[in-house]
Amino acid sequence: MLQLKGKSAVVTGGSRGIGRSIAINLARLGASVAVNYTSNSAAAEETVKEITGSGGKAIAIAANVAQAQQANTLIESAAEQFGTVHILVNSAGITRDGLLMRMKDEEWQQVIQTNLTGVFNCTRAVSRIMLKQRWGRIVNISSIVGIKGNAGQANYCASKAGVIGFTKAAAKELGSRGITVNAIAPGYIQTDMTGKLPQSARDEMLSRVLLGRPGRPEDVAWLAAFLSSDLSSYITGQIISVDGGIVM
């Protein structure tokens, strides 16, 4: 049965959207969860309240994952609070869309630094703990546009393609110590991130979804829970799309 009793997890970007749903789901299955965010403390507290209100265990930890020192402190604080960290879900992510011809240096750097370097920073920090305990689950949230590209998102697509390469390399380095590393590539999921896109862009994405509806954060959260559990112990280095059938 899918359960995570006795496990502790860090979910980066766990305060909103896909990360929030993953954090709530992991806690519902019995894990203690550190809900990471960078600036919106109200959303993080609300997520923690939702978990603790249903009898789960959660704390909010502010940290900008793009900064190595803050990522180290995030993992150390969670390990201190819960005794260790068994599960890391790297969900923190941002977009700064624009045509590459006009893309500013800082738009490129912010996205790479948060979406790709952030995954490296947190994974490096947690790997020290997981290697010692010879058990770990790392789930990276990539994107289908990291597989197929998307006009107007050169920075974002590069960061998400980078996460795919990183996932495979980390799986190869850590597999012999009982640590699995997988990535989920969501398609069009209804969150604040996609809510700010123009209606025409959302309609266009929807037209390519075989199942005829946008994804919900829970659609991603169930796969993340499975990949965080003992049930997925023979799956590593995989990139699994949750996209209603866009990529096949």
The residues carrying an active-site annotation are 156
Distance in angstroms (rounded) separating the CA atoms of residues 223 and 4: 14
Residue with tokens 């010692």: 132
Amino acid at 98: G
Which is closer to ligand NAP, CB of 16 or CB of 86? 16
Q: Count CB-CB contacts under 10 A for residue 224.
A: 28
CB of 30 to ligand NAP, least distance (A): 23
- Asked if 121 is part of the footprint of ligand NAP (rule: CB under 6 A), the reply reads no
Closest CA to 119 of 144, 142, 100, 101: 142
In three-state secondary structure terms, 208 is: coil
CB of 144 to ligand NAP, least distance (A): 7
From residue 126, give the alpha-carbon distance in Å to each of 54, 72, 89, 123, 156: 28, 8, 11, 5, 24
Residues 140-159 that bind ligand NAP (CB under 6 A): 141, 143
Distance in angstroms (rounded) separating the CA atoms of residues 35 and 79: 13
- Asked if 69 is part of the footprint of ligand NAP (rule: CB under 6 A), the reply reads no
Window contacting ligand NAP (CB under 6 A); options: 77-85, 124-132, 188-196, 233-241: 188-196
CB of 159 to ligand NAP, least distance (A): 8
Tokens of 202: 């959302």
In three-state secondary structure terms, 243 is: coil
- Asked if 82 is part of the footprint of ligand NAP (rule: CB under 6 A), the reply reads no
- Asked if 117 is part of the footprint of ligand NAP (rule: CB under 6 A), the reply reads no
CB of 29 to ligand NAP, least distance (A): 20
CB of 173 to ligand NAP, least distance (A): 22
Window contacting ligand NAP (CB under 6 A); options: 37-45, 76-84, 97-105, 224-232: 37-45
- In this structure, are residues 24 and 192 in contact, taking their beta carbons and an 8 Å threshold? no
- Asked if 47 is part of the footprint of ligand NAP (rule: CB under 6 A), the reply reads no
**Residues binding ligand NAP: number (CB under 6 A):** 32
If you compute the radius of gyration of the chain from its CA atoms, what whole number of angstroms results?
17
What does the binding site for ligand NAP look like in residue numbers (CB under 6 A)?
A: 12-13, 15-19, 36-40, 43, 64-66, 91-94, 114-115, 118, 141, 143, 186, 188-189, 191-194
